[in-house]
Amino acid sequence: MSEKKETKNVFEKLFGGMDVEARFGLMRMAVAILIGLGTAIILILIGAKNPLESLKYFFLGPLQIFNPNVAKGIGWNYFDQWIQSAIPLLFTGTAICIMFSANKFNLGLEGAIMMGGLSCGWVCCLLDGDIQAANANPVACAILGLLVSMAAGALITSIPALLEKKWGASIMVTSLMLNYIALYISRYCLFSTNLRDTKTSKYSWQWTENVVLTFRKFMGTRFTLRLGFFIGLAIVVIGWAFLFKTKWGFKIRQLGQNPSFAKYVGVGIVGTGILVQIIGGAIGGLCGATVILGNYNYYYGVELTGYGWDGVTMGIFAGNNPKKVLPAALFIAYIRAGASIMATQPGGPINELTKIVEGVIVLFLLAEKFLAKTHRKMIVEEAKKKQALKAEAAKEVTE
């Protein structure tokens, strides 16, 4: 009995200060994540040859810093893998937060990432000769690549925005089609132009490593420090400040919440709507470039990356607030890293199961009516508690 009371006290200490809505939001998120992880466990039990081993790798894998194979020169470090998979999520999450805050369902992020990676790769290939001849500064080259990729990304997402503005074409449909067009542009450049490396015929020319945004073998062989992660963090912070601390951000959120009101108070709704998507696309392009520069020294985009859809997941997790993108990205990246570590073990199931887990969590996070009864109960309890307090106070006064 006493033990029960004690736990309740701890609970109250932690969450007592919050109002009911915030507490319920937290609870619903916890339940959704638990359901997702439960799904993961079931899937692993179905798919793995030795489930216990696989479960261990899935849940604890990314925390084990050392991968025994790395010493032999095979694979990535596990912790490194975690951070690495968080990088694109930081970018796309922020981009989607900004775009969806204005209630613009532009799904062209996938294409923006594609074009960003492509244009950055092209810049690196073009300037590689100069860098080797010491005519160009490798850092300047990397920065130029990033800038070009931002422009390319912004171009891709601004097309649906302009089409909507000019002719009212459905932004969702046009942006979906542009993703595939971007994919084929990328394939065309990779296979039919002089970007292609004639020796491997699968990737572009390889450029010299010093353009790459990593300091490989930082601290011996333990970590690869990725500059991309810090660029991503910067983007998250800038995105948050932009959305919540500037005039533009306020306009964007106003536009998303109530377009008629926004128009009434003098927000240029057309301009803001387009601006949002250009910013989103620029961040997407940056994401593509960072992934290419951070992990490879060649361009390889022959398939859609899927990062654009990840962005939607991230936006939902973060509730369109870039502040929450970091924990959300770390969480999803943890699951993914765990799954891919598990998948590399002999007899481990395939890492695609994280998609199922993410989808399930997204659905339960969004479901308004999910746990509605508990929500009502919590509100009633809170009200009763307040009433009791009031009655007590009244009693004291009369006494």
Partner 1 sequence: MGVITEIINTISRVVVLPTFYYMIIMSAAPILLAALACAIALKANAINMGTEGIMTMSALVAVLVSSSVGGQAKGGPWLGLVAAIIVGAFLGFLVSVFAFRLKIDIILVGIAMNLICTGASVFLMYVLTGDRTTTTSLSSGTLPQVAIPLIKDIPIIGEILSGHYILTYVAYILVFVMSFLLFKTKLGLRIRAVGENEDAAESVGISSLHIKTIALIISGALGGLAGVFMSECYLAYFSSGLIAGRGFVGLAACNMGSGNPGIIALCCLAFGIFYGFSNFATLSNLSIYALNALPYAVVLVGVVIYSVYTRNKELKRLQGLESEENLEYSQPAK
Which chain residues interact with partner 1 by CB under 8 A?
Answer: 43, 46-47, 105, 163, 167-170, 172-174, 176-181, 183-185, 187-188, 191-192, 303, 309, 312-313, 316, 349-350, 352-356, 358-360, 362-363, 366-370
Pairing outcome for strands 214-218 and 223-226: antiparallel
Minimum distance, C-beta of residue 262 to partner 1, in the bound complex (Å): 20
Which residue has 């009371």 as its token pair? Answer: 5
Q: Assess contact for 312 and 200: CB atoms under 8 A.
A: no
329 vs 353, beta carbon nearer partner 1: 353
Residue 320 in 3-state DSSP? coil
State the Cα–Cα distance between residues 188 and 324, nearest whole angstrom: 38
Position 186, amino acid: S
State the Cα–Cα distance between residues 315 and 366, nearest whole angstrom: 11
Minimum distance, C-beta of residue 337 to partner 1, in the bound complex (Å): 16
DSSP lists the bridge partners of residue 204 as 196
Handedness of CA 314, 319, 325, 329 (dihedral sign): negative
150 vs 332, beta carbon nearer partner 1: 332
176 vs 269, beta carbon nearer partner 1: 176
The backbone torsions φ and ψ at residue 212, rounded to the nearest 5 degrees and listed phi first, read: -65, 140
322 vs 349, beta carbon nearer partner 1: 349
105 vs 248, beta carbon nearer partner 1: 105
Minimum distance, C-beta of residue 97 to partner 1, in the bound complex (Å): 14
- Describe the crossing of helices 325-344 and 78-101 by its angle, rounded to 10 degrees: 140
41 vs 144, beta carbon nearer partner 1: 41
176 vs 225, beta carbon nearer partner 1: 176
State the Cα–Cα distance between residues 386 and 380, nearest whole angstrom: 10
The alpha carbon of residue 121 and the mean position of all alpha carbons in its chain are separated, in whole angstroms, by 22
State the Cα–Cα distance between residues 24 and 378, nearest whole angstrom: 8
Minimum distance, C-beta of residue 316 to partner 1, in the bound complex (Å): 7
Minimum distance, C-beta of residue 89 to partner 1, in the bound complex (Å): 14
What tokens appear for 247 in the block?
Answer: 């005039």
Minimum distance, C-beta of residue 253 to partner 1, in the bound complex (Å): 18
State the Cα–Cα distance between residues 196 and 201, nearest whole angstrom: 6
Minimum distance, C-beta of residue 105 to partner 1, in the bound complex (Å): 6
